Amino acid sequence: MSGEPAALDGLVTTARAAAADDALFHLAFDGHVARLTVARARRRNAVRGDDWRVLPALVEQAARGGARVILLASDVAGSFSAGADLNELAALHEDAAARLPFRNVMRAGLDALRASPVPVIALVDGDCFGAGVALAIACDIRVAGPAARFAVTPARLGISYPFADIARLRALVGEGQAARLLLAAEAIDRDEALRIGLAELAGGAAQAEKLAAAIAANAPSSVAALKHGLAAAGDDAGENHDRAFDAAFGGPDFAAGLAAFHARRTPEFD
């Protein structure tokens, strides 16, 4: 990563601090694709509080650094994420004062991923359990590799799942399938995840890369507006989105798209 604008100095410092030897998340840029890699092999990519804490800064750095899409993938064979770090969860049994801060920092990390101004693709090819599922469903699109397995496992530990994560799961797969995943806590394979809507595409890294490239090639203003429209709710949100729809016809991306169409060439957006 090189040539970051001065405005990113604070975020870059934060992100580099997160990229210490034991960091879980690592950010790098590849053109307009930001690669957010999950890598802590000795703990099967278990997520700790400090990992959730740094995630908002990494997402912001990706967006402000010119990324048009974020690709979240594991660098550990056989594991996307084993879920929350059990050592930290065990500490919450005796330390009641730590429970709310733990939930809040996890929520802030997941909400930052969900609210990213650029789309986020999760490539899951290996075990995706517990909080790992929460991480995946906070993304916009999930690509499931051949080895993907999903399990929402808090009921096996005698705990629950945060409300926002239950809501996201239900929105993806429906109430009945969400109940099945949460209450039985059984693992499902890639084909079953695709069948119920927990994943959108089958394929490995090549499929995820192809999807990321397709998104990055489109007009950034259009992608941002469409992502916002998908997340919006309520009459006011709809009216605001439609006003943005109207305004886009006077914008530079539409002018560039029209010019490329008339010239019969692939558009290039700034």
Check residue 7 and give its pLDDT: 35
Number of CB atoms found within 10 A of residue 209's CB? 19
| pLDDT tens column, 112-125 | 999 999 999 999 99
- The alpha carbon of 151 is separated from its chain's Cα centroid by a whole number of angstroms, namely 17
In which region does residue 203 sit, left (phi positive, over 0), alpha (psi from -120 to 50) or beta (all else)?
left
| pLDDT tens column, 79-109 | 999 999 999 999 999 999 999 999 999 999 9
- The alpha carbon of 112 is separated from its chain's Cα centroid by a whole number of angstroms, namely 9
pLDDT at 243 over 70: yes
Residue at 185: amino acid letter = A
| pLDDT tens column, 169-197 | 999 999 999 999 999 999 999 999 999 99
